[in-house]
Structure 1
Amino acid sequence: MNTTTGKVAILWRGDAEAREKATANNNRFFRVFEELASLGIAAEPAVYSEEMTEDIRAQLLNVDGVLVWVDPIHDGRDRTALNALLCDVASRGPWVSAHPDVISKMGVKEVLYRTRHFGWGTDTYLYSSMDDFSNEFPDRLSRDGPRVLKQNRGNGGLGVWRVEISPSTVGAPSRVRVLHARKGSVPEEMPLSEFIARCEPFLDSGGCIVDQPFQPRLADGMIRCYMGADRVVGYGHQFIKALMPPPPKGPDSVSAQPGPRIMHAATAEAFQDLRNQMEREWTPQLMALLNIDVKSLPVIWDADFLYGPRTEAGKDTFVLCEINVSSVFAIPDQAPAAIARLVAERLRQKVTT
């Protein structure tokens, strides 16, 4: 058996009690712990909260690498303090995946605008000020039909809206129908000016809003393409319900719930066109555009795709709707072993540099 020496920490959010009781076996990452152990890599839990920052800093400075699973926003808290901690730790020797600097490039909605010329792109715009948004969006909505707006940072559908002109509007789009992507949301009708004003906080402090066309094939499901650095490690296909009007029985009914995410291996025949494009074209283009090398790519990340219009030959196309970097879970069965292999590679690289 090919083994690698080294020690890593697996970090996720929790409280002091969870930190005290955490073991390699009593959390959702147990398969990752098992695969690391099979390669001779010691791994330890590192449960994080802002109140325990100094204890966690001391722990992380005593390992060779850190694998991080923490959402951008959780129960009103963001990653500001954690990112500062991880940058400090990385500057002192341990490698961090995903590094906050990489997250700031890949794991934001702005990347949809910056990569709009890739094969996964679509008719995408970016608003960086209220003037831009209020002046440009109404005309675009009137001309192009339903749009999907996304704040730059978020997870779980937070700050993602489907916006379309209300059927009651005649002429200029004075009223809109808005559906938030958060679970349990229902369509709202309101003056367009009110919705624009509601978006102002997302443009504060250097924020932005990304604007894409609504994809008519949303009902065909979303494909989550899981990546280990620059290689596909699996897929998840799910019939999602976000941005689709709830059924007559309401947003909490059984029929309003998303279907299960069906996992597939990287070799799944149905997704080989997507695999080829991700590995041979789109990921290399992304790395070049964002100035990220292979060693800096996250050991696990994903790209979420919706089906775009079919080609004249009837083949599927794919439209990128999000890249997830901060906390990619659940993952396909094959992913923990791929993560462990990548960790082993990075530990060997650390020894030789």
Structure 2
Amino acid sequence: MDTERHSSPRQTVAILSRGDAAVRRDATAQNSRFVRVFEALATVGIEASPAIYDESFAGAVRDQLLAADGVLVWVDPIHQGKTRAGLDALLRDVAAQGPWVSAHPDVILKMGVKDVLYRTRHLGWGADTYRYDTAASFRSEFPARLRTDGPRVLKQNRGNGGQGVWKVEALPGTDGVVRVLHAQRGSIPEDMPFDALFARCEPYFGWGGCIIDQAFQPRLADGMIRCYMSSAKVAGFGHQKIKALVPPPPQGPDSPEAQPGPRIMYGPDAPQFQALRRSMEDEWTPQMMATLGIDEPSLPVIWDADFLYGPKDAAGADTYVLCEINASSCFAIPDEAPAAIARTVKQRMLRTTGVHSDA
């Protein structure tokens, strides 16, 4: 396949997601879950095509991406036991040869991992947060912190869908026994000695490199606010009554009562979230960029920051605590987000046109 870079009257974008050979063969813009993104890009004059990825045909995907001007990536860090290790290497190679990639793997490693909670703990969205870089430091430091500070939430550095996220509580009157609850759907509390917890978490140092330890937020039951961002601007919000890290009801973890509520989507102008919007656009995102060394053109075309409600302030207003940033695969999105994505992509295209036409 000829992947020679050339200027084109119509700029092109590949929308990358996971799938098998049959999905790749049959993929179209119309049958894609990203159909609204395809439509929004077409409206601003950008031609987009689906690019289905699997490690078994990575070479063909690489050729396809090299023929595009840009690549939008929607691939989870962990999917059915597969990680992004091979894909991230491929995307780095593609980006080095001309096409821009969003989100670039190196940007994800700065902001789309749980370590961002530790590195930005001094910002207004921060909480009581620690990082363990080795299994030895985790074993030596965590037990005393748990006994002194109360319930904690442990998070592997890279993951999704609640994988590797644990609420941990010390059990009074016991000799080194803790109660743990996994954030994955269908989990139930387990009582175990510290050594069993350490053994369960030790593999996280291999894949993600560290474990993040945050104070448990007592207002968890009030729900999670997902703030959707396109580059440095808010593209919408979602609010959901989550059940992760909430003990299941008597009916059991698979009962209807144990399931999370629907995520209610809102546009960027939703009045109840304007204080959060101002904080994100005017303070926290610029401060995060400065802390992590990310410039605005490198911010993902679509990403989200998940917040829990913190304690109310002296005036009775809500505060917000960041619990994770999603930059690898941010979907579903509010109705207003595809147009915001298209505007941001158009800006990126205009910024890089000179580079591409000279390549």
Which TM bucket (shorter chain)? Answer: over 0.9
Query: What's the C-alpha RMSD, in Å, of the aligned pairs?
Result: 1.1
Q: CA deviation at 1:205?
A: 6.3
What residue in structure 1 maps to residue 15 of structure 2? Answer: 10
Q: CA deviation at 1:174?
A: 1.0
> Which of these residues, 331, 334, 345, is aligned with residue 333 of structure 2?
331
> Which of these residues, 150, 159, 164, is aligned with residue 164 of structure 2?
159
Correspondence 1:128-147 to 2 at 5 A? 128-147=133-152
Correspondence 1:220-235 to 2 at 5 A? 220-235=222-237
What residue in structure 1 maps to residue 113 of structure 2? Answer: 108
Work out whether residues 67 and 96 of structure 1, in 8 Å CA contact, stay in contact via their aligned partners in 2. Answer: yes
Moved over 4 A (4+): none
Q: Provide the rounded CA distance (Å) in 1 between the counterparts of 2:322 and 2:200.
A: 26
Work out whether residues 158 and 207 of structure 2, in 8 Å CA contact, stay in contact via their aligned partners in 1. Answer: no
Q: CA deviation at 1:134?
A: 1.1
What residue in structure 2 maps to residue 213 of structure 1? Answer: 215
What residue in structure 2 maps to residue 40 of structure 1? Answer: 45
Q: Aligned letter for 2:271?
A: E
**Unaligned stretches of 5+ in structure 2?**
1-8
Correspondence 1:169-184 to 2 at 5 A? 169-170=173-174, 174-184=176-186
Q: Provide the rounded CA distance (Å) in 2 between the counterparts of 1:121 and 1:128.
A: 20
What residue in structure 2 maps to residue 241 of structure 1? Answer: 243
Work out whether residues 124 and 213 of structure 1, in 8 Å CA contact, stay in contact via their aligned partners in 2. Answer: yes
Which moved further from structure 2: 192-201 or 88-97? Answer: 192-201
Normalising by the residue count of structure 2, what TM-score does the alignment of the two structures yield? 0.95
Please give the secondary structure, in 2, of the residue aligned with 1:322: strand
Work out whether residues 128 and 206 of structure 1, in 8 Å CA contact, stay in contact via their aligned partners in 2. Answer: no
Q: Aligned letter for 2:166?
A: W
Q: Provide the rounded CA distance (Å) in 2 between the counterparts of 1:206 and 1:181.
A: 18
Normalising by the residue count of structure 1, what TM-score does the alignment of the two structures yield? 0.97
What residue in structure 2 maps to residue 74 of structure 1? Answer: 79
Work out whether residues 157 and 208 of structure 2, in 8 Å CA contact, stay in contact via their aligned partners in 1. Answer: no
Q: Aligned letter for 1:139?
A: A
What residue in structure 1 maps to residue 5 of structure 2? Answer: none
Q: Provide the rounded CA distance (Å) in 2 between the counterparts of 1:193 and 1:179.
A: 16
Deviations 1:287-336 (A, max 9, x none): 11111111100000000000000011100000000000000000000000
Paired residues, number: 347
Work out whether residues 156 and 208 of structure 2, in 8 Å CA contact, stay in contact via their aligned partners in 1. Answer: no
Q: CA deviation at 1:135?
A: 1.1
- Going from structure 1 to structure 2, the CA distance change for 1:185 and 1:44 (only over 3 Å counts) comes to same
Please give the secondary structure, in 2, of the residue aligned with 1:247: coil
Q: Provide the rounded CA distance (Å) in 2 between the counterparts of 1:245 and 1:331.
A: 28
What residue in structure 2 maps to residue 286 of structure 1? Answer: 288
Q: CA deviation at 1:207?
A: 1.1
Q: CA deviation at 1:164?
A: 0.2
Q: Provide the rounded CA distance (Å) in 1 between the counterparts of 2:125 and 2:256.
A: 33
- Going from structure 1 to structure 2, the CA distance change for 1:205 and 1:44 (only over 3 Å counts) comes to closer
Q: Provide the rounded CA distance (Å) in 2 between the counterparts of 1:56 and 1:197.
A: 38
Correspondence 1:19-98 to 2 at 5 A? 19-98=24-103
